[in-house]
Amino acid sequence: MKKRKKKKNKFLIFLIIILILGLAGAGYYYYLKKENKEMSKTIEKKEVKKLKIIDENSDTRPIAIMINNHNTARQYHCGLQDAYIVYEMIVEGGITRMMALYKDQDTAKIGSVRSARHYFLDYALENKAVYVHWGWSPQAQSDIKTLDVDNINGLTYEDTYFFRDKSLKVSSEHTGYTSMELINKAINKLEYDQKVKDTLLNYSIEEIDLSQKENVLEATNVVIPYSNQAKTSYIYNPETKLYERYVNDNPHQDYQTGNIYTTKNIITYKLANKTIDDKGRQDIDTIGSGEGYFITNGQAIPITWEKPSRKSKTIYKDKNGQEIKVNDGNTYIQIQPLNQELTIN
């Protein structure tokens, strides 16, 4: 009997041990499960950094719109704050014209829209953009056909995809506008390709610090003359970390909001230009290579540029031969005549 009791006791002890181990294991399992759940919640709550200037995953095709920069028209500029890239180049009469690029925007009023110039096509093509204009020079008209440029012309589509702001008491050539909604309707109607998953520039989500780069310059004031009629300049605001834009020493402001236009990045370089007709129209040598500057966050570095053909991308590199990255924000590309001085200080 005693031996049987001993065996029974041992068996009970064994069961108790198994039960304790089982409960401990179950407890540890639920503990781990809870911990994993909490970790998952923490990961979900942690913000994933994304570019703000464009959606990197978007395949929406860019839209390039010619912007009238005549002295009369400039005070009525609308919608430039939504462009992710703006090009500025000289045209006839010593004034400049701009081309603003939009992607995934719903801007309600953009302009005033002006006529095409053939060398701007090279930069619409490098962005694979639909080209929007109101009129054209003979050279641009010919090149649009020859280069098979997808374009939308206000001469053809006034009151359909373009409109006049009749409240402006200026010449009608300065009153033409469009919107993203109207241009997207035109793209659908004309059956242009709508998808392009490509960008001209390389963007950095993390803030770029140029201070460790070779030959870095202080760049709190940037002055870019185009002629005795047109001077673009930028003043750096260290609080916003943006450059505020001025034209002929006057703030360049949006007509609707009254806000001064700003930019995060500036790329500037010079190209040769020449007069080609009795209207004073220009030709610009866009193909080739040269030097310029990349400017952001109050600093500038020398860069090189290279554009092998009219349709190919312009590649911007630092002095070590590395393709540059720009800060998350909009970019003004200032293409200046060779005979004009650039001031960075």
- Identify the CA nearest to 276 among candidates 92, 70, 66: 92
Length of the chain (residues):
345
Looking at residue 197, what is its pLDDT? 87
Compute the distance between CA of residue 304 and CA of residue 321 in angstroms, rounded to an integer.
8
- Identify the CA nearest to 331 among candidates 98, 50, 6, 83: 83
pLDDT surpassing 90 at residue 99: yes
DSSP 61: P
Q: What are phi and psi of 132, to 5 degrees?
A: -115, 130
Question: Would you say 125 and 311 are in contact if contact means Cβ atoms under 8 Å apart?
Answer: yes
pLDDT surpassing 80 at residue 26: no
pLDDT in tens, 209-232: 999 898 999 999 999 999 999 999
How would you classify the pairing of strands 63-67 and 130-133? Answer: parallel
Beta strands in 169-298 (DSSP E): 176-178, 202-204, 217-218, 221-225, 231-237, 242-247, 250-251, 262-263, 265-271, 273-275, 282-284, 288-296
Q: Which domains does the chain have, with CATH numbers?
A: 63-344 (3.50.90.10)
pLDDT band with cut points at 50, 70 and 90 for residue 280: very high
Compute the distance between CA of residue 117 and CA of residue 139 in angstroms, rounded to an integer.
7
Compute the distance between CA of residue 144 and CA of residue 150 in angstroms, rounded to an integer.
8
Q: What is the pTM of this model?
A: 0.87
Looking at residue 49, what is its pLDDT? 86
Residues forming a β-bridge with 111: 78, 177
pLDDT surpassing 60 at residue 40: no
Beta strands in 103-220 (DSSP E): 110-111, 130-133, 151-153, 163-164, 176-178, 202-204, 217-218
pLDDT in tens, 291-315: 999 999 999 999 999 999 999 999 9
Residues forming a β-bridge with 267: 294, 333
